[in-house]
Amino acid sequence: MENKDTHNFINNLVEDESFISWVKSDFTEDDDIWSQYIDKHMDQMDQINEAIGLVRAIDFKDDNTIDTKKLWQRIESNIQIETPIKATIVSSLNRWRLVGLAVAASVALFLLFRPGFDAEKIVNTGIGQEITETLPDGSDILINADSKITYDTKKWDAERNVTLEGVAFFKVQKGSKFTVQTSQGRVEVLGTSFSVNQRDDIFEVICKTGKVAVTHSASSTTVVLNPGDMSVIENGKLVLKSAENGVTHKITWIEGVYTFQDASVSDVIDELERQFAVEVEVPQGIDSTMYTGFFNKGDLNKALYAITWPLGLTYKVIDNKVILSKE
Amino acid sequence: MSDEILWSKLKQGDAKALREIYDLHICDLENYCKKFTKDIELIEDVLHDMFVNIWQKRDTIGHTDSIMSYLCVSIRRDLIKRINKSALIISLENTEKLDTNFSISAEDILIQEENSKIDKIKLEKAFEHLSHRQREAIYLKYYNEMSYEEICTVMDINYQSVRNLISKGILLLREKMIMVNVLVFIQILQLMYF
């Protein structure tokens, strides 16, 4: 009979998430870790093998009898798939902006296809818009409203380099160094997910998974972020706000939630204008009032209520215009 | 495409995202459902309703960075509700306690060729000694390769309970089974050194 230690040794391996994915991926994922582990535990090879055998043995057959095409047709016939929401975005922009977009698009096309020119790709979002861009290596960028990313499709394999103006969430595939360049500094990672906010003199980075290195150009300082950590610029210096005491910094905007802590009303209104493509008229003298709270993207009236109620204001919506006034 | 971005596209009304989610997960969802019931018509209905539902409620549904576990939570709840309902009608006279079954039969077990020394029947018998919840947790962990946190969400129990279900389940399986590892051992050596 095995003794208790052996028992625990095997069970610990079988329950280890990294060990499971190593075995299930036919010894490719996390292979460096487990090769080293085996070298160090050669005397326990029998137990390691039992653990491997067990993880491999717990596998089940695919048992698929449903006609998935037919089921999809049934689903499709019961939902009204509307025309893409792009149409509503366009209608909310004014005519001149449309002309501007068309001009910008043709300039971009011209630049893109001009022979001999770098294969530079630019993705620009308008106000109220959000776009997902998939990079050549499968990494994804969710680009927030009124933001711009640039990268070189030809040089991509040699260096993963993206320039950002504005706000974006990055989900980076594992691989070589991935760099996000902004006017305030750069963010370097290997494979992880994080959000960068660089508008005006803001330079805010929140790490969701993995490790992220943030470098501030002006002070030439670097901090390393772990999951839940955030870096900001305070008084011209790069400051790390770590995820201690159970307080983790979350990237809420990708869920459509915009949160503010002691933010000036003008910052909040700027964000509202950007996300809903509206113009907001603010009564005099409240610009520097502080606001703590949040609004949800999706319903303008609810968002306006969330902002105006704590400030003791009322609002009126007329087409693309919002007028705030004191009660 | 990552789960959080795919989901956020769905929430923004992108029908292609719904199709992509369907294509990615429909087979695994069917497999999962079949462990609760063999009633294919019921499974199709539940799957149909769920996809129609998430599309219609896309504005208000929560956010997730694990789509598969989100779908499992929803399908599990609905499936168990409907199984219990039909069981109730059939066995009105019966005082038998209504419970959810999570069954794994010999046909469900996949024996890889190099593992053929592990007796299929033995493994099935070993699974019989596990509780339904242990079976389900082990299925989600080793077949769907979910994280412990994802299993917490799907089974609606806390982290420690999931760890216990799996830990005790694995111990039981090992006790009930005699593993033949020589073949696997040789294979590992080959992978590592040749």
CB contact under 8 A, B170 and A24: no
Question: What is the interface pTM, i.e. ipTM, of the complex?
Answer: 0.77
Query: How are strands ordered across the β-sheet holding A313-318?
Result: A279-281, A321-326, A313-318
CB contact under 8 A, B118 and A63: no
Asked if residue B63 has pLDDT above 50, the reply is: yes
Around Cβ A102, how many Cβ atoms within 10 Å?
10
DSSP 8-state code for residue B96: P
Residues of B in contact with A254 (CB under 8 A): 4-5, 8, 63
Task: Report A:50-79 residues touching B (Cβ under 8 A).
Answer: 50, 52-66, 68, 71-72, 74-75, 78-79
DSSP 8-state code for residue B106: G
Question: A71: Cβ–Cβ under 8 A, 6 or more apart, which residues?
Answer: B26, B44, B47, B48
Average pLDDT score, chain A: 82
> Hunting for tokens 């029908």 — which residue is that?
B15
The Cα–Cα gap between A282 and A12 comes to 61
Phi, psi of A190 (to 5 degrees): -105, -55
Asked if residue B93 has pLDDT above 70, the reply is: no
Task: Report A:189-218 residues touching B (Cβ under 8 A).
Answer: 193
The Cα–Cα gap between A194 and B2 comes to 13
* Alpha-carbon distance values, A77 to A71, A84, A147, B15, B80 (Å): 10, 17, 37, 13, 26
- The pLDDT score that the predictor gives to residue A259 is 87
Residues of B in contact with A84 (CB under 8 A): 13-15
- The pLDDT score that the predictor gives to residue B95 is 39
Task: Write out pLDDT tens, residues B125-183.
Answer: 788 888 889 999 999 999 899 999 999 999 999 999 999 999 999 988 888 765 444 44
Confidence of residue A89 (pLDDT cuts 50, 70, 90): very low
The Cα–Cα gap between A257 and A146 comes to 17
pLDDT: is A122 or A115 the higher one?
A122
* DSSP SS3 for B165: helix
> Hunting for tokens 């769920």 — which residue is that?
B50
Q: Is the dihedral of CA A20, A21, A22, A23 positive or negative?
A: positive
Confidence of residue A102 (pLDDT cuts 50, 70, 90): low
Interval A161-177 mean pLDDT = 89
Please state, for a pLDDT cut of 70, what percent of chain A lies above it: 86
Interval A183-191 mean pLDDT = 85
Q: Which two tokens stand for residue B147?
A: 């994280």
Output the CA angle A102-A106-A111, nearest 5 degrees: 150
Q: Which two tokens stand for residue B39?
A: 């009633």
Interstrand relation of A148-152 and A120-124 (parallel, antiparallel or unpaired): antiparallel
